Each structure stands twice: as C-alpha cells, then as structure tokens.
C-alpha cells in the first residue's frame, strides 16, 4: 500500500516546522520537500537539512523524494550538484526535476546530449 503523501509546496506561506506539524496532525506519512525558496532551496546549509530530516523522522514522516526546480533544458548540469547535496542530507532516493525550466516548457527537441 502506498503511503499518503504531500509536497511541501502545498504550503508556501508556512515554515518548515509548521509543515511538519500539519503533516503530523493529519497523519501524512510521506513528504516531498520543495526546492523553492520557502523551504529547502539549493544552498540550504547541510546542518539545517539534516535537522529537517531528523524532525521528519521524529514525526514518522518519510522523505521519499526531493522536489527540485532544476530544469534540465535551461539550467546548467553542474548546478544539479546542489540538488544532490540536499537529497543526500534528507535521505531521499528520488529527485524530481523538470524536463525544461519549471516556468517555461521549452523546446525539448532542441536539448543537447548533455542536457
């Protein structure tokens, strides 16, 4: 059976602690943290990411994926390292990316082999 889960981007005006409390109160079993500026964007210090992971574990919330806003069509491949760092610190096995830029679908037929 699949757990009930949410994406933290559902609560852009709430801080991390409040999102965890909402999930705990509503028996949400899995959470995808958003890589947007309001939760865990690239560059979030590792101690903070580890703290968030520990708070989730204490609340019984699994972290199966990290919701990056990395667009493989428009963003530089080297910039993906920051997404990997956060996913690793969270213990996530999956990183969601955008085939293009998250705000613009782009022209996927023009992607390079590296993208």
CA distances from 9 to 12, 19, 25, 48, 75 (A): 5, 10, 18, 18, 21
pLDDT tens-digit readout, 23-56: 999 999 999 999 988 899 999 999 999 999 999 9
pTM attached to this predicted model: 0.83
Answer whether 86's CB lies under 8 Å from 40's CB. yes
Give me the sheet containing 5-7, strands edge to edge.
Answer: 5-7, 30-34, 65-71, 94-98
User: Dihedral angle at the C-alpha atoms of 84, 95, 88, 10, nearest 10 degrees?
Assistant: 110
The predicted structure's pLDDT at residue 100: 61
Q: To 10 degrees, what angle do helices 16-25 and 46-58 make?
A: 20
Percent of the chain with pLDDT over 90: 65
pLDDT tens-digit readout, 95-107: 998 776 545 555 5
């Amino acid at each position: 059976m699949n757990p009930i889960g949410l994406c933290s981007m559902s609560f852009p005006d709430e801080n991390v602690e409040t999102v965890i409390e909402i999930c705990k109160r509503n028996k949400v079993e899995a959470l995808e943290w958003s890589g947007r500026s309001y939760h865990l964007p690239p560059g979030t210090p590792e101690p903070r990411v580890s703290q968030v992971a520990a708070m989730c574990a204490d609340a019984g919330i699994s972290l199966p994926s990290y919701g990056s806003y990395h667009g493989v069509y428009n963003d530089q491949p080297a910039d993906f390292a920051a997404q990997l760092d956060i996913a690793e610190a969270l213990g996530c096995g999956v990183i969601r990316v955008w085939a293009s830029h998250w705000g613009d679908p782009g022209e996927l037929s023009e992607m390079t082999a590296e993208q």
